[in-house]
Amino acid sequence: MVVFERNKSITILYAARGFRTGKTVSCIIYKSDGTEAKASHSMTEVGSTGVYTTSFVPLNIATYFSVCDCTEYPKKAYKEYHVVKQWAIKGGVINAKPMVKVWTFKDKDLLINMIKGISKSQLNLANEVPAKFDIISNDSKRTSSELIEKSDTSLRLSEDIKQESAKLVNEGIKTIAEFKDNWLEKETETIENKFAELHKKLSAEIIKLPKLAILDPLNSLNEKIVNLSLLTDEVNANLKLSTDLFSGDIRKKINTLAVQTDELILLMKNAN
């Protein structure tokens, strides 16, 4: 029988199934009457050994027991701890003086029922997990089917919208072309009608005018044009004369002109 001293820490060790590392391991400390001395708590792994540890301090002289288990890989471990007031040293030999508790049938039945209850809870959990998984799986299948159906519906709607858009565009282009042709035809006809009406009015006004009213201004205009032409010729001749006269050495030309004038006067005298 392993005996421990009151108010001294007790270390509890637990090896996970297959010494798996990095798992979640919990431990509960019970008194002999089935009440919890330390509620469920996590155990700490020793390095990466797959061995997990925790501790508790017994405050009473009694028998304690621990129940440890791994959440992912269940494997319950049970161990008793008999706590005494203190160690008694006699003749160089350490003798423990535990306060021995006599287990009654009631205590045994309580412990058995508690262990059975734990087993039933695990069994119920094991039965519930597949059922919940089936429910989730069925929900996922239904959701996937609904998504596929909605996706097909969306594709059909997209195709319908595309066809309707193309149809509307073609009809719009056709309508614009028809409007353009009709508008050009209408505007061309309107312009032609206006020109015809204007020509008709102008012809009527010309017919109403007397012939003399038209011929007299035309004759006067023609006479003025002829006079203007004569004046233009005269101006051009004078310009040429002025250009010839004043171009080059003016003094020499004046002397030449004077000599020619004298010669002309002499010829006229001889002629008389």
Domain boundaries, the chain: 3-100, 215-246
Look at residue 135 in the predicted model and tell me its pLDDT: 75
User: How many whole angstroms from its chain centre is CA 227?
Assistant: 88
Look at residue 103 in the predicted model and tell me its pLDDT: 56
Look at residue 119 in the predicted model and tell me its pLDDT: 56
Q: Residue 29: which H helix or E strand, with range?
A: strand 25-31
Look at residue 133 in the predicted model and tell me its pLDDT: 62
Say how far apart CA 223 and CA 253 lie, in whole Å.
Answer: 40
The residues, any chain, with a CB within 8 Å of residue 185's CB and separated by 6 or more, are none
Please state, as a whole number, how many other Cβ atoms lie within 10 Å of the Cβ of residue 25. Answer: 25
Look at residue 80 in the predicted model and tell me its pLDDT: 92
**Ordered mean pLDDT values, 10 residues apiece, the chain (272 residues):** 86 93 95 91 94 94 94 91 74 47 61 68 64 70 75 76 76 68 72 76 68 62 72 72 64 76 80 64
Domain 3-100 CATH (choose: 1.20.200.10, 1.10.287.1080, 2.60.40.10, 1.10.287.810):
2.60.40.10
